[in-house]
Structure 1
Amino acid sequence: MEGGLVKYKGGCHCGAVRFEVWAPQTLNVIECNCSLCVKKQNKHFVVALSQFKLLSGHDNLTTYTFNTHAAKHTFCSTCGVQPFYIPRSNPDGYGIAPHCLDTEAKKVKTEKFDGQRWEEAFKKSNISTYSKKQ
């Protein structure tokens, strides 16, 4: 454990994309209801860029953007799984799918985010500070 953070490893389904991430033992998971997050069941926690390392699979990653094109939804071009992405709320961080970690976090706190009313919800939330807190 480094500075209260734990190292997790994870990846996509086929194993082509592998990463490691330093995050708290208790993960603050965001459950968004925007059109894309609902379709792909995107629950994620956010970490700063410096807390994430892609170990393998850079060439397997494909990126999808829509609407404002601020979020970079990356996924494995072989199996289609999105283990992480760059969120609109934190372009200086990564949104990590907790279900793509090799080991479960000891504790998870979930915060619902009203992505259908993104701008209004973002102003009311503390979501922009997640990558700085961790």
Structure 2
Amino acid sequence: MTETLKSRSGGCHCGAVRFEADLPDQVVALSCNCSICAMTGFIHVIVDKADFRLVSGEDNLIEYTFNTGAAKHLFCKTCGVKSFYHPRSHPDGISANLRCFDADQNLSGRIVDFDGANWEKNIDQINPGQGA
């Protein structure tokens, strides 16, 4: 049985950056303890690129990379919020911040801890066969 996907909207704090993602009602989200996720409180909802649309604010995004440079962290230039980014762990996907979906989206699920502080050792737990 295939889960029905619905368009869910979200964005940054100031509203300059807006996105839509096609997701089921129930998602599994990842709480990562790597340096950037722990500091920003980012809760990952992995979305296939084909199911993600940047609605507005592309010109208001600024990119930040570190370590391997594979992940492309995108922040709103106005409010500083990272509502989504291109993750190293899922090169064919987008990681949207569960906290940045609009409150009325009826999106629920469970949050799973991921030890991203030890990324190379643990990546196969969330992305079998596609480690570093």
State the partner residue of 2:73: 73
Question: How far off its partner does 1:11 sit?
Answer: 0.8
State the partner residue of 1:40: 40
State the partner residue of 1:132: none
State the partner residue of 2:94: 94
State the partner residue of 1:109: 110
Distance in 2, matches of 1:35 and 1:45, equals 18
Whether contact under 8 Å (1:27, 1:105) holds in the other structure is no
| Aligned residue type for 1:48 | D
TM-score (ref. length: structure 1): 0.88
Superimposed CA distance per residue, residues 59-88 of structure 1 (whole angstroms, 9 cap, x where no aligned partner): 000011100111111010000011101111
Whether contact under 8 Å (1:98, 1:104) holds in the other structure is no
| Aligned residue type for 2:80 | G
Residues 1-134 of structure 1 mapped to structure 2, 5 A cutoff:
4-102=4-102, 103-123=104-124, 125=125, 127-128=126-127
- Stretches of structure 1 that go unaligned for 5 or more consecutive residues are 130-134
Distance in 2, matches of 1:104 and 1:39, equals 26
Question: How far off its partner does 1:104 sit?
Answer: 4.6
Percent of residue pairs identical:
46
Question: How far off its partner does 1:4 sit?
Answer: 1.0
| 3-state SS, counterpart of residue 36 of structure 1 | helix
TM-score (ref. length: structure 2): 0.89
Tell me the matched-pair count. 126
Superimposed CA distance per residue, residues 13-47 of structure 1 (whole angstroms, 9 cap, x where no aligned partner): 11111111101211111000011111111111101
- Stretches of structure 2 that go unaligned for 5 or more consecutive residues are none
Q: 1:61 to 1:106 in 2, by over 3 A?
A: closer
What value does the CA root-mean-square deviation take over the aligned residues?
1.6
